[in-house]
């Protein structure tokens, strides 16, 4: 079982606030990890003056460094976190101006995908905390716009949203239909065990790789990705889950007889290759 592939579908690296790309990739690889999908972190984690483009360029550089210096295969996902709007509005920016800034950021993300610097647009979406109805309308418009850009670029989007039940998945599926994006190309990051088609409405759930979530999901099926949402932040060590979690969890599930090696290959290789239009080096 030494050659079981393992992809963390949403893991951050941050040499400014954390250990950085090489250390995290090395920890991941020593635990059996083979591929990392890495979204850029928000601009404010870099510096108060950081632009959206700069935050995206940084993660592309981190991915290049991992691919060059380690045995882990890394891919960048680029976008603008929904909290970018809230922070600007709280600082006094007009909501209409913040929306225009975000549209420009999403267009920059699409351009980087089309230049083969990144494999998806994300994390984008809407806040997991209360905002005004007016701000929520902006977030929802931007979600549809991001999906339209993803359709044009033939790439997936990774959604950051509130905790989502079947009702929210249905709403996001309708957004995808409006945008003309294949529903499976909408990846719900930090998902609970929403594996059944009637729960996820055709979207791809990226499950947080806790034991409880995985066991409940596997009672329903195996149509999902796995992630940690690791933050790589020294002030929050191990948050959300540590970088070793996905490969270790995968092996525990195999040892417990809950998935087979073939299942692991489908989850960590075949589904990733199909969604992101990439080829794994195994």
At 270, is the secondary structure helix, strand, or coil? helix
Region 7-276: CATH code: 3.20.20.140
Gyration radius (Cα) of the chain, Å: 18
Residues of the chain with pLDDT under 70: 1-2
Percent of the chain scored above 90 by pLDDT? 99
Rounded distance, CA 94 to CA 86, Å? 11
What pLDDT does residue 178 have? 98
Residue entry with tokens 């007889």: 257
What pLDDT does residue 3 have? 83
Residue entry with tokens 């947080």: 208
Structural contact between residues 13 and 25, judged by C-beta atoms closer than 8 angstroms: yes
Ordered by start, the domain boundaries in the chain are: 7-276
What pLDDT does residue 166 have? 97
């Amino acid at each position: 079982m030494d050659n079981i592939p393992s992809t963390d579908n949403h893991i951050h690296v941050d040499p400014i606030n954390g250990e950085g790309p090489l250390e995290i990739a090395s920890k991941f690889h020593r635990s059996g990890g083979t591929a990392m999908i890495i979204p850029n972190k928000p601009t404010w984690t870099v510096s108060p003056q950081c632009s959206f483009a700069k935050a995206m360029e940084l993660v592309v550089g981190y991915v290049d460094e991992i691919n060059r210096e380690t045995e882990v295969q890394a891919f960048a996902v680029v976008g603008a976190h929904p909290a970018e709007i809230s922070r600007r509005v709280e600082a006094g920016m007009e909501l209409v101006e913040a929306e225009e800034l975000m549209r420009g950021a999403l267009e920059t993300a699409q351009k980087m995908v089309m230049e083969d610097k990144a494999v998806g647009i994300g994390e984008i979406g809407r806040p997991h905390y209360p905002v005004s109805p007016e701000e929520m309308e902006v977030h929802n418009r931007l979600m549809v716009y991001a999906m339209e850009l993803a359709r044009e670029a033939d790439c997936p989007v990774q959604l950051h949203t509130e905790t989502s039940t079947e009702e929210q998945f249905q709403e996001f599926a309708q957004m995808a239909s409006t945008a003309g994006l294949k529903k499976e190309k909408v990846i719900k990051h930090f998902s609970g065990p929403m594996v059944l088609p009637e729960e996820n409405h055709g979207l791809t759930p990226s499950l947080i790789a806790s034991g409880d979530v995985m066991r409940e999901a596997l009672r329903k099926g195996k149509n999902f990705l796995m992630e940690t949402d690791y933050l790589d932040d020294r002030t929050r060590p191990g948050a959300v889950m540590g970088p070793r979690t996905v490969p270790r969890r995968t092996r525990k599930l195999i040892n417990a007889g809950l998935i087979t090696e073939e299942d692991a290959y489908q989850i960590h290789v075949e589904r990733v290759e199909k969604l992101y239009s990439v080829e794994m080096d195994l």
